[in-house]
Amino acid sequence: MKRGVTLRRSTVVIGAVLSLALLSGCGRHAAETSDVDVGTVSSSIDGQDGAVTDPTQAAALSLLVDEAEQLADEAEQDLASDG
Amino acid sequence: MSTRRTLTVTASALLAVGLSAAPAMADSAEPNPATTVTVDGNQVTITTDLATVQNLCDRADHAMTRLDLATTRLTADATTQGSLAWVRVQRDQARAAGKPAVADRWQLALDRRERRLPRMQEAAENLGTAYESVCTALPAPGQP
């Protein structure tokens, strides 16, 4: 299933930045993901489409999920070390 | 105009590569992270597969739950093993018992957890915002 999403130029630029972060292997670094402006990205959603399948949003979400999973891993391992 | 188009195509190509690095989940239908792009004057349309985003949303939901559980435990009182308050008690008891090496280890654990906690809270907040803006707009898996 494929759906189209209309983007603003600013979103495309954001997408490029996010993609470069992914390609450079920085996607799991907290400092990189904290720079993601989710509000700006979300402003590009095409409301008429009904579904948000914009890959720039997916890229932002991917970075945030990676960071959250890494932190959860660390926290769980640390807590488990208490015995 | 040509600069804009070049940028758009470049961004799309990078996005396709970046998204393809995202691990696929087994419980959703055949994610295909490839993207296509079309340019029509000032409008740029990028298309990707819905299942790819649904997979990310599944992971986001699970990650938020894990962070919430860990945060709840870390911020609990001294009766909850692993909490910051509990670690402080362990450190203080070790000091009182004349075991400075043990106390130092608890202090290191305390420092580590105190540093991580705000990062976890920020990550959960950011992920929650992204989840609200992206995932709540998606149809459920299998729905049109």
pLDDT in tens, B77-135: 999 999 999 999 999 999 999 999 999 999 999 999 999 999 999 999 989 988 887 78
Indicate if the pLDDT at residue A79 is higher than 70. Answer: yes
Q: Compute how many other C-beta atoms are within 10 angstroms of the C-beta atom of residue B99.
A: 13
Q: Any alpha helices (H) in B21-135, and if so which ranges?
A: 50-74, 84-96, 100-134
Task: Tell me what pLDDT residue B42 has.
Answer: 67
Phi, psi of B43 (to 5 degrees): -100, 130
* Tens digit of each residue's pLDDT (9 = 90 or more) over B12-66: 333 443 444 444 333 445 666 666 666 777 666 666 677 777 888 899 999 999 9
Question: Cα dihedral angle (A11, B45, B47, A26), rounded to 10 degrees?
Answer: -20
How does residue B73 score in pLDDT terms, banded at 50, 70 and 90? very high
Please tell me the distance in Å from B90's CA to the nearest CA on chain A: 11
- B34 to chain A, any CB pair closer than 8 A? The answer is no
Q: B130 to chain A nearest CA, in Å?
A: 6
Q: What is the pTM of this model?
A: 0.62
Q: Dump pLDDT digits (tens) for A26-64.
A: 333 333 333 333 333 333 333 333 334 455 667 778 888
**Do the Cβ atoms of B19 and A58 come within 8 Å?**
yes
pLDDT digits (tens, 9 = 90+) for A56-74: 667 778 888 999 999 999 9
CB-nearest partner of B81 from A50, A55, A82: A82
Q: What is the ipTM of this complex?
A: 0.70
Neighbours of B42 (CB within 10 A): 9
Hunting for tokens 């640390």 — which residue is that?
A78
Between CA B15 and CA A41 the distance in angstroms is 14
User: What DSSP line would sit under A35-77, residue for residue?
Assistant: T--HHHHHTT--TTTSS---HHHHHHHHHHHHHHHHHHHHHHH
| Partner A, chain B 92-111, Cβ-Cβ below 8 Å | 109
